[in-house]
């Protein structure tokens, strides 16, 4: 694998910059987002621009006014999480999560980490476009409960959407066990002492054709809070060559005085996987491994998958650490590794470091919250993120970088 790294734009003073691209249509149309960040999980400035020629030329940046709005004391975030073409139906599909904070988001997040109370509500929608992603006229809530009130069908978006060769669509959400267990008459207390903090997963199989929308849901995928204090988060739903669905996601070993959990200090931190032959019933969740069931460590951080369109190899990008991490950290190094679809494990010899903490850089540096996509013309793979925390004197300073990977 040939690797190159480019600093797209230097950090803006003591703040971080993140510049990320996605394909927004069936063709070479791209959308680029430029984000200035000065706090966790919230953008101070979000701008967007578009290109119709695969990033050769761009229009001017415009403020992304849809990202954040206020409604009285409430604050509302709208996050587009995944955009994919469905070549069977001729539509572009995306998932959008709306997060409603009941009051100032900084105080809400602080309250969550100190008390375990969830003073926000997440709902994820799937949307369909018939005009190459210009407008989305059909919108459906990803429902797993019959009641559609604000406190029901909570769902944090999965990181991706998969489309099968017959046009079937697969995506997933992560949601508090309180609601997930309520939806299927399970006792949330059997799995977690804080069922609002601890999350489970629902996978959806979706069809939309000739104006008819249908969606079926999987049985919940759940982990005990003795293995992951916050449950299963940021799920990836991946189609394997065998036709099976793989669910892969992060866990957490974070412990807070305000939460009740069976998690013990020093518990091992892994990636977690489950498999399904029908999209409804998934195997018991277990750690993702190398060959011969060799375990590895990974912090609670995002990961992404790409199947290369030419070689058909399936790649994962995320953080693998030499020693057991604690909660979310460290979020370095960032690696890419090939997945063995027959053995359902990572190929250890394929692990390649993409980025790492350099001498003099801060211990809190993050190589995370990235995009991972294949160029539709050159077939190179690109990873884009902010090297957040690179300067030990400024918590939020980070350059916007793009990694380019080419198969050899």
C-alpha to C-alpha distance for 199 and 201, rounded to whole angstroms: 7
Q: Average the pLDDT over 87-114 and give the result.
A: 96
- Looking at the domain assignment, is residue 51 inside a domain? no
User: Which pLDDT band, with edges at 50, 70 and 90, does 211 fall under?
Assistant: confident
Helical (H) or strand (E) element with 62: strand 62-63
- Looking at the domain assignment, is residue 166 inside a domain? yes
Residue 210: pLDDT over 90: no
**Gyration radius from the chain CA atoms:** 20
Q: Do residue 141 and residue 8 come from a single domain? A: no
Q: Do residue 179 and residue 157 come from a single domain? A: yes
Q: Do residue 316 and residue 389 come from a single domain? A: yes
- Looking at the domain assignment, is residue 165 inside a domain? yes
Enter the tokens of residue 131. 């005009």
In tens, the pLDDT along 102-157 reads 999 999 999 999 999 999 999 999 999 999 999 999 999 999 999 989 999 999 99
Q: Do residue 85 and residue 176 come from a single domain? A: yes
Transcribe 249-280 into DSSP letters: EE------TTS---PPTT----EEEEEESSSS
In tens, the pLDDT along 151-208 reads 999 999 999 999 999 999 999 999 999 999 999 999 999 999 999 999 999 999 999 9
What pLDDT, on the 0 to 100 scale, is given for residue 209?
83
In tens, the pLDDT along 290-321 reads 999 999 999 999 999 999 999 999 999 999 99
Task: Give the domain extent around 225.
Answer: 66-288
Q: Do residue 95 and residue 218 come from a single domain? A: yes
Go through 325-353 and write b for each residue having 16 or more CB atoms within 10 A of its CB, e for each that does not.
Answer: bbebbbbbbbbbbbbebeebbbeeebbbe
Q: Do residue 182 and residue 277 come from a single domain? A: yes
- Looking at the domain assignment, is residue 316 inside a domain? yes
Enter the tokens of residue 365. 């540096």
Q: Do residue 400 and residue 351 come from a single domain? A: yes
Q: Do residue 39 and residue 5 come from a single domain? A: yes
Transcribe 63-94 into DSSP letters: E-TTSEEEETTEEEEEEEEEEEEETTTTEEEE
What pLDDT, on the 0 to 100 scale, is given for residue 326?
95
- DSSP single-letter state for residue 113: H
Q: Do residue 73 and residue 167 come from a single domain? A: yes
Residue 258: pLDDT over 90: no
Q: How far is CA 116 from CA 80, 153, 213, 258, in A?
A: 26, 19, 36, 6
- Looking at the domain assignment, is residue 199 inside a domain? yes
What pLDDT, on the 0 to 100 scale, is given for residue 84?
98
Q: Do residue 134 and residue 110 come from a single domain? A: yes
Residue 234: pLDDT over 90: yes
In tens, the pLDDT along 324-333 reads 999 999 999 9
- Of the candidates 288, 321, 356, which is a domain's last residue? 288
What pLDDT, on the 0 to 100 scale, is given for residue 111?
94
Q: Average the pLDDT over 88-115 and give the result.
A: 96
Transcribe 271-311 into DSSP letters: EEEEEESSSS--PPPEE-BBGGG-B-B--S---EEEE-TTT
Enter the tokens of residue 152. 């029901």
Helix (H, G, I), strand (E, B) or coil at 154: coil
- Looking at the domain assignment, is residue 61 inside a domain? no
Residue 269: pLDDT over 90: yes
Helical (H) or strand (E) element with 111: helix 105-115
- Looking at the domain assignment, is residue 60 inside a domain? no
Enter the tokens of residue 354. 């993409």
Please give the mean pLDDT across all residues of the chain. Answer: 97
- pTM beyond 0.85: the answer is yes
Q: Do residue 281 and residue 315 come from a single domain? A: no
- Looking at the domain assignment, is residue 59 inside a domain? no
In tens, the pLDDT along 344-364 reads 999 999 999 999 999 999 999
- Of the candidates 288, 312, 340, which is a domain's last residue? 288
**Which residues are paired to 222 by β-bridges?**
none
Q: Do residue 143 and residue 38 come from a single domain? A: no
- Of the candidates 242, 264, 288, which is a domain's last residue? 288
Query: For the chain, how many structural domains are there in total?
Result: 2
Residue 288: pLDDT over 90: yes
């Amino acid at each position: 694998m040939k690797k190159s790294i480019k600093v797209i734009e230097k950090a803006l003073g003591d703040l971080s910059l993140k510049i990320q691209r996605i394909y927004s249509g069936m063709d070479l149309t791209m959308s680029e987002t430029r984000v200035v960040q000065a706090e966790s999980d919230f953008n101070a400035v979000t701008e967007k621009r578009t290109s119709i020629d695969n990033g050769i030329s761009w229009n001017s940046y415009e403020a992304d006014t849809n990202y954040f709005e206020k409604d009285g004391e409430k604050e509302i975030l709208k996050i587009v999480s995944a955009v994919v073409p469905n070549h069977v139906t001729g539509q572009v599909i995306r998932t959008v999560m709306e997060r409603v904070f009941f009051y100032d988001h900084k105080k809400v997040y602080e309250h969550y980490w100190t008390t375990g109370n969830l003073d926000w509500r997440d709902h994820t929608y799937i949307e369909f476009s018939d005009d190459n992603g210009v407008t989305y006229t059909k919108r459906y809530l990803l429902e797993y409960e019959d009641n559609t009130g604000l406190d029901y069908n909570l769902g944090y978006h999965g990181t991706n959407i998969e489309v099968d060769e017959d046009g079937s669509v697969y995506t997933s959400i992560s949601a508090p066990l309180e609601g997930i267990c309520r939806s299927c008459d399970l006792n949330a207390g059997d799995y977690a002492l804080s069922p609002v903090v601890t999350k489970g997963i629902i996978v959806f199989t979706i069809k939309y054709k000739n104006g008819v929308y249908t969606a079926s849901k999987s049985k919940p995928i759940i982990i005990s809070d003795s293995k992951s204090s916050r449950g299963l988060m940021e799920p990836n739903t991946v189609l394997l060559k065998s036709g099976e669905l793989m669910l892969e996601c992060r866990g957490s070993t974070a412990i807070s005085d305000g939460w009740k959990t069976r998690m013990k200090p020093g518990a091992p931190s892994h990636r977690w996987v489950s498999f399904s032959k029908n999209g409804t019933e998934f195997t018991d969740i277990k750690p993702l491994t190398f060959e011969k069931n060799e375990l590895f460590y990974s912090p609670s951080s995002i990961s992404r998958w790409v199947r290369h369109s030419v070689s058909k190899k399936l790649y994962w990008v995320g953080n693998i650490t030499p020693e057991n991490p604690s909660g979310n950290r460290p979020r370095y190094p960032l690696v890419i590794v090939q997945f063995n679809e027959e053995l359902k494990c990572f190929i250890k010899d394929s692990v390649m470091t993409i980025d790492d903490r350099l001498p003099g850089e801060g211990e809190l540096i993050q190589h995370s919250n990235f995009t991972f996509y294949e160029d539709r013309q050159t077939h190179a793979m690109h990873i884009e993120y902010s090297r957040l925390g690179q300067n030990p004197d400024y918590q939020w300073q980070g350059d916007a970088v793009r990694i380019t990977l080419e198969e050899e």
